[in-house]
Structure 1
Amino acid sequence: MPQAARTIPQAFRGAVAQFPDRTAVTAPDGDLTYRELDTRTDALAAELVRAGARRGSLVTLLTPRGTDLVVGMLGILKAGAAYLPIDPEYPPARIAWTLRDSGSPLAVVTPATAPLLPGAGRHPDVRAVTLDGPPAAPAGPAAPDPAGDGTDLAYVIYTSGSTGDPKGVQVEQHSVLRLFDVVREHLAFDEHDVWSMFHSAAFDFSVWEIWGPLLSGGRLLIVPREVARAPEAFRDLVRAQGVTVLSQTPSAFHGLMAADLRTAPDPGALRLVILGGEALDVAALRPWADRYGTDRPRLVNMYGITEATVHASCRPLDRTDLDRRGPSPIGAPLADLAFHLLGEDGTPPADGEPGELFIEGPGVARGYLGRPDLDAERFVAHVGADGVRRRRLRTGDRVVALPEGGYGYLGRVDDQLKIRGHRVEPGEIEAVLAGHDEVRRAVVVPHDHGDGDVRLIAYVQSAAAPESLAAELAKLAGELLPAHMCPSRYVTLAGLPLTANGKVDKDRLPAPPGAAGPAAAAGPTAGTAERISAIWRSVLDVPHVGADEDFFSLGGTSLSLVRMFARVNEEFDTDLDITVLIGGATVGALAPHVDAALAQRARHLTETP
């Protein structure tokens, strides 16, 4: 990255100058060299400028996981604008709401995603620019980057909101550039690295995964969505593509570890495993450390928050951490950031006592899009001992300074949750459920199904029939919320338990009733689909599973998928690979594979003398 680079496009042009013919992006739809990516993004930038993009504009990015995603991001930035990534898998109502709230006048789409825009791309307030392959001919010499500097916006990413509406976090370009400048000395990444993009572009972990390689001359590997959901397939992809820098939430890495344990030890080219996005239980890494140690690949825990540009601290892990009890170690703040712990009275706590974490430094975001009230609450002014006024981010996280140095993460000071790395405000989900005519009140809480498989349970106060209400609420949530925010169970109560202050007493909420009996209820004489369905009901804790119902739509996670598949192989004494579900995770799709494996085994036994 050129030292003089003030913007992301300038830094990228430095990589192009050094490595024009190296592969920049490997994606399901093909590869792009740095030169090819530069050419395509110049063409898009010119088209966006003609369509009205200007310095400071906000352009929606609604593309699948492929080369178009990267072309869209970089082209938008080259036009002087900032990108607003929206996951095409989000419900149409969520996409429409985000467009309205952001006021984004332009959207970069593909032929496949254009119909997802309100009015199928004919929305009067949003002009669509469609990516349909590389330009037929060069659009002329590259135009100079629009006048700009590091204070220009890079992106706006929406996170869950406690009041019922998501909020857009505005991050400036200098905050992204300094992130990689600061961590490079610790992690030593360069043009020889291959970074995997595992996460959705609408999740800020992707900022780290995408710009890490593209600003240093490395190669970005975009993981297909269906592979990201299948740990065995993802493990094979990491090995085959020579991934060196792997970024995972602890939940996702747990699934990868389980898949890896079923094969011969082989870390491939991996040299760094970056864990972040949610609290890490270090002891859970023992199976991996027993196989590979903690040095090659290195295991690094990084704490962060969207409002502090992805990562704010770094903690390399070693074997002594595996036996450590207590808070999750998040290490020391990055070199250009400062951590401050404050108690409820606004003063620093005593040594060894926890406090709320405030972050200060150039990684702190500009603020929330169109939310000055929330800005005042979360981005607070502080006058230091030197008399200089500085901004601090109030994280809402409870942290403690550790005796050996660094910090430990204890949890939230409010109700915010982390589900598979995504920030989830229960209030946003509760507001959606309370919009149902039959619901008087709703509360959403996490429930750990074991091995870190955390799912959401919704308790609703209603006089309606529980089974029909649950189906209606699931439909409502699916229409308005991303999949990671949809509860896996709905429990109907005549009244919610309250504290003396009239708040819901979550400690007195009943445990969710077991929905399914043991899988053995479908005996060996039952049909294949019926036996698989019984396993799914048990693993997912749901009363019914239809032949064509998607595993993830029923509340499944990557961890529960691994557990379910192991149960199926045990039930039928098969050795199927989870990749058979890449085409669709349904009972109807899995049953024929099981039948085929059983038939092949029967033929083998018949033919064996």
Structure 2
Amino acid sequence: MTPLQQARAAGRPVPAPGRPPGGGRFERPVSPTEWLYLAGGRLAPPFAVQIVIEGTGRIDPDALRRAVDEASEACPGARLRRRGRIWTDTGRPPAVRTVDRLGAVLGAPLAPGDGRGCEVAVVTGGATGTLVFRVHHAVMDARGALDWTADVFRALRGEAPLGAPSPVYDLALLDALGGTRRAPVTPRWRSPLAGVRRGHPPRWQRRTLHGTHPGLVAKTAAALADLTPGDTRVMVPVDLRRHRPQLRSTANLSLPVFLDGTAGDPWEQWHEQLLRALAEGRELSAGEEESAIRLPLGPLAGLLTAAHTATTAAGRHPCSALVTTLGRIAPQEMSAPGFAARTVYALPVQAPFVPLSFTAVECADRTELAMAHPGGPRADARAAALLDAVCEALSPRARRRPVAAGPRRSVPPLTLTDLLRRQVDRAPDAVALTGPHGTVTYRELDQRADVVAAELRGRGVGRGAVVGLLADRGVAAVAGLWGVLKAGAAYLPLDPAHPPARIAAVLADADASHCLAGREYRTLPGPDRSVLVLDDLPVSGARPQPGTAAPDDAAYVLYTSGSTGHPKGVVVEHRALVNYTRWATDRYGVDATTRFALFTSLAFDLTGTTLFAPLAAGGSIALVPDEPDHRTLRHLLTRSGANALKLTPAHLDLLTTLGIEPEPFRVLVVGGEQLRGPVAARAQRMFGPDCRIVNEYGPTEATIGCIVHTFDPAHEGDLPAVPIGLPVDNTEAYLLDADGGFTAPGEIGELHLSGAQLARGYLGRPELDRERFRHLADGTRVYRTGDLAQLTPDRVLRYLGRTDDQLSVRGHRIEPGEVAAALERHPGVSGAVVTARPPRAGAEPVLCAWITGTAAPDTVRAHAARHLPPYLVPAAVHALDAFPWTVNGKVDVRALPDPFTSGRPADDARTETGRSDEAAHAHPPTGPGADAVEAAVAAIWSRVLGDPDLRPVPGDDFHRLGGDSLTLLRMLAAVASDVVGPAGEPAFDARLRDLIRRPTLDHVCAAARTALTTPPTEHP
């Protein structure tokens, strides 16, 4: 008779599956399995499922008690008291107690018979917060305990518990599923710890491995077999809930399958055996459990004791080990206000007759593996060796290390301002800055920075504050930057080219109450901020104050594109920047004679090399305040006195097409995107063999540059991509596979970075910190880059693309979701998809968008320009009636039409943006001169865009045909030199800003015609 039949025969109330009898107090029979657990648990106390949650923060004890009460009301299996062979809900919640150390609770007894079969322990000692949820195995199985635990945290978060009200247990469900009966198991299998005698309380050991491990049960079984004499049998508990996914019960609902093998069997063979057992539903069978419930607990416990003694003496067991996996648990499921779970693991039950028990939990990007084993002499050391062998099978120790690491060097406890102060003291009259308005010495720069710092301190700005910096690349901006650092605050660089709404949003997100601004930008920060106009400050007069920042204080906050539609602020500390600066000055040979040219945006972290390295080594910075075009770039290379340059590969490619013969340069540091071998080779020929070209890789979150490689023109000029190289000082690189495991040598993996240059994290975005800044199993903090890489046979790293949708366009990392969200805010856009496409074969990809709705592409692109930085504005926008979809319900990006060949403006749209009135009146297109200019400019467009079949017409926009900001500069430079000529170039150059804003064919032709007819004396 089943327990249900016995209960009915005895006249006891029997609850209907899924609800209490008559809707009253929860009751259910004690299952035969649980009856065995009640008797056998006396042999191996505490015979409890114990779930340990470690995290940061604390939970208020009263709030925890209320949450336990609420969750236990929804999961009445946590409040059971035994009355004979019936479990009855006492209505009393489990106890919540505090202990000072974890060891004080793990071996403590539980009393399931009197309603104290569950409890929650809060460990108060130690640096991290730890909670232990304990349930006697006769009351719940591990899955039931996890469900109850998760409901406690739901209650703590103010969410409704899911509850587990069903009284269904294993054999009752087995009856409903039509299960069978299993033959008795003969104890004949040896223990992997053969020779270790029982007689002591059980012990637990635990290991943490990074990543998740497919085939974990099979790999564990194979490792145990290799260490076990003779044949090996592994018991694997299977949760019967898999056959009733909607069933919510905390009762024991696990029955085993058995796997058999011998030493040397590959893990794949074990895995195939397990899959076959699950496919055939072999767990749907009961063994000797039903006969056990006929005996009272006392006699049953005596029988079990005798059998256990005989089994142990003979060294033969029903199985060699028990291996169970509880699946994946997200840390946020076990988090609450004030407490963030870092990891979750379960300590297995040390059951009678079973020599070893393993439990695995996958939590975030790690696998927690715990083992229970008999205590006693020699047991701990042998068990530890066995557990290490299992870990070696899952994750070989040889792979659990960086694939590449930079030299270990001490980082002095300094700040950036300390580095500057040393140079001011060493050579106060040396030149620090050069530019259109003369030179500035170190002393003068220091004095101007002191004025800014004093003004900020007078306004209450100090450590922990963020100050906006909105200015052109001039002396005032550099002095303002150092002034913020001297005040102890962090500076927030803002690009004046960004839309005002974007600038205001970034300032608000950073909670920057003050902003330093150039005079022409003083209104951009908005009325809610205190604006300090840099140009209105004196150049000296403030009394120097001792530095207030510490090495672990923030130096700057730099905003990058965000996948949620909003940019995210990366907080970089002085310590990280000092490590990079000291390394860069050494690697790039920066000294007092080095002059870096500053021509990229201050809001671009690539610029940090130019700002910090020369000033830390007594060198200088050549300021280039004007936007880069062929004029400014020519001056930079030939007349600025610069001999070092930091730039993107796209800028480097542009330089090689301008026909400039530069002055001698020592080093070109190239970063921001992939460097192609042919581009580097052309640059090497242009700058000469004495100029080093260094490929520098580094996301903002790892401080400017963290992996570098010096280009070898003899062997790398034909490579599609120059290697990114090896890590800088105090930096390590790991490659992890899709499951988070360490890759084998030569395999491709996602690049994770660790070391001294990691950023603090994202400003006010803890959820994003948890996603991108992670910890390896050994506690190493890493940044997950999303970049795929491989270590080559030459022992250098090469970049191989992305794991996600993030794009790299012209040195900027772009989240397509941010651009799509901005486009969808246009009232005429119902949907948007953004990605990068090359405008033609062999060209670099540019940002493109596809939209649905009623809006015209030109109006949408204009909308984007009003709300997004220039590098986020799509080069082409194409309207569709509907997006193509994959069978999985996602937009089929590959099926989107070519936005360039089919995305030309319609005739009505061309009327709006086509031929300007000025062009039409100045030179009608019917004259022979007009035809010659237009033909020459059109030929340049075709050449620059790499499309010999291109036939642009007057209304065509350069961007709509696949041009971007840098190919636009290349085109304008070619028009100035090939069409206008030296005499008219000054007049043409005067129109550059206007042409960059509106690069249509007729507009460019009109500027060229005007320049050709303007007397040279009018533009000296």
Question: TM-score, normalization: structure 2?
Answer: 0.53
Classify 1:363/1:593 alpha carbon distance in 2 versus 1 (closer, same or farther; 3 Å): same
In the TM superposition, 1:113-124 aligns within 5 A as 113-119=521-527, 123=528
Q: Is the 8 A contact 2:980 2:988 kept in 1?
A: no
Of 533-542 and 20-29, the range deviating more from structure 2: 533-542
The separation in 2 between residues aligned to 1:273 and 1:138, in whole angstroms, is: 38
The separation in 1 between residues aligned to 2:512 and 2:497, in whole angstroms, is: 19
The answer as to 2:518 corresponding to 1:131 is no
1:278 corresponds to which of 665, 673, 676:
673
The answer as to 2:860 corresponding to 1:473 is yes
Q: Is the 8 A contact 2:464 2:488 kept in 1?
A: yes
Classify 1:51/1:452 alpha carbon distance in 2 versus 1 (closer, same or farther; 3 Å): farther
The answer as to 2:552 corresponding to 1:151 is yes
Q: Is the 8 A contact 2:448 2:539 kept in 1?
A: no
The separation in 2 between residues aligned to 1:495 and 1:292, in whole angstroms, is: 50
Q: CA deviation at 1:363?
A: 0.4
In the TM superposition, 1:68-147 aligns within 5 A as 68-119=476-527, 123=528, 126-133=529-536, 135=538, 138-139=541-542, 141-146=543-548
What corresponds to 2:441 in structure 1? Answer: 33
Q: Is the 8 A contact 1:354 1:398 kept in 2?
A: yes
Q: Is the 8 A contact 1:25 1:33 kept in 2?
A: yes
What corresponds to 2:741 in structure 1? Answer: 347
Q: CA deviation at 1:243?
A: 1.2
What corresponds to 2:363 in structure 1? Answer: none
Q: Secondary structure at the match of 1:60?
A: strand
Q: CA deviation at 1:436?
A: 2.1
Q: Secondary structure at the match of 1:274?
A: strand
What corresponds to 2:989 in structure 1? Answer: 581
Q: Which amino acid aligns with 2:476?
A: D
The separation in 1 between residues aligned to 2:882 and 2:714, in whole angstroms, is: 48
2:640 corresponds to which of 241, 258, 269:
241
Q: CA deviation at 1:289?
A: 2.9
Q: CA RMSD in A?
A: 3.2
What corresponds to 2:845 in structure 1? Answer: 454
Q: Which amino acid aligns with 2:928?
A: T
The answer as to 2:694 corresponding to 1:300 is yes
The separation in 2 between residues aligned to 1:309 and 1:377, in whole angstroms, is: 18
Q: Which amino acid aligns with 1:359?
A: L
In the TM superposition, 1:432-447 aligns within 5 A as 432-447=822-837
What corresponds to 2:576 in structure 1? Answer: 175
The separation in 2 between residues aligned to 1:559 and 1:76, in whole angstroms, is: 36
Q: Which amino acid aligns with 1:483?
A: P
The answer as to 2:719 corresponding to 1:329 is no
What corresponds to 1:309 in structure 2? Answer: 703
In the TM superposition, 1:8-23 aligns within 5 A as 8-23=416-431
Q: Is the 8 A contact 1:300 1:317 kept in 2?
A: yes
The separation in 2 between residues aligned to 1:14 and 1:91, in whole angstroms, is: 38
Q: Report which of the two structures shows the higher radius of gyration computed on alpha carbons.
A: 2
The separation in 2 between residues aligned to 1:156 and 1:378, in whole angstroms, is: 17
The separation in 1 between residues aligned to 2:538 and 2:523, in whole angstroms, is: 22
Q: Secondary structure at the match of 1:132?
A: helix
Classify 1:524/1:343 alpha carbon distance in 2 versus 1 (closer, same or farther; 3 Å): farther
Q: Which amino acid aligns with 1:318?
A: D
Q: Is the 8 A contact 1:278 1:420 kept in 2?
A: yes
What corresponds to 2:596 in structure 1? Answer: 195
Q: Is the 8 A contact 2:940 2:974 kept in 1?
A: no
Q: CA deviation at 1:446?
A: 1.4
Q: Which amino acid aligns with 2:696?
A: M
Q: Is the 8 A contact 1:565 1:578 kept in 2?
A: no
What corresponds to 1:605 in structure 2? Answer: none
Q: CA deviation at 1:598?
A: 6.9
The answer as to 2:611 corresponding to 1:216 is no
The separation in 1 between residues aligned to 2:584 and 2:973, in whole angstroms, is: 38
Q: Is the 8 A contact 1:453 1:559 kept in 2?
A: no
What corresponds to 1:66 in structure 2? Answer: 474
The answer as to 2:684 corresponding to 1:289 is yes
The separation in 2 between residues aligned to 1:31 and 1:473, in whole angstroms, is: 45
1:511 corresponds to which of 865, 884, 898:
898
The separation in 2 between residues aligned to 1:571 and 1:70, in whole angstroms, is: 39
The separation in 2 between residues aligned to 1:26 and 1:285, in whole angstroms, is: 28
Q: Which amino acid aligns with 2:715?
A: D
1:527 corresponds to which of 930, 945, 953:
930
Of 274-283 and 576-585, the range deviating more from structure 2: 576-585
Q: Is the 8 A contact 2:681 2:717 kept in 1?
A: no
Structure 1: runs of 5+ lacking an equivalent: 602-609
The separation in 2 between residues aligned to 1:292 and 1:238, in whole angstroms, is: 10
Task: Work out which structure has the larger RCO, using CA pairs closer than 8 Å and 6 or more positions apart in sequence.
Answer: 1
Q: Which amino acid aligns with 1:525?
A: P
Classify 1:99/1:9 alpha carbon distance in 2 versus 1 (closer, same or farther; 3 Å): same
Of 150-159 and 485-494, the range deviating more from structure 2: 485-494
Q: CA deviation at 1:590?
A: 6.3
Q: Is the 8 A contact 2:858 2:905 kept in 1?
A: no
Classify 1:5/1:242 alpha carbon distance in 2 versus 1 (closer, same or farther; 3 Å): farther
Q: Which amino acid aligns with 1:399?
A: A
What corresponds to 2:800 in structure 1? Answer: 410
The separation in 2 between residues aligned to 1:565 and 1:366, in whole angstroms, is: 42
Q: Secondary structure at the match of 2:586?
A: helix
The separation in 2 between residues aligned to 1:542 and 1:55, in whole angstroms, is: 59
Q: CA deviation at 1:39?
A: 0.7
The separation in 1 between residues aligned to 2:665 and 2:507, in whole angstroms, is: 39
The answer as to 2:502 corresponding to 1:502 is no
The separation in 1 between residues aligned to 2:426 and 2:938, in whole angstroms, is: 57
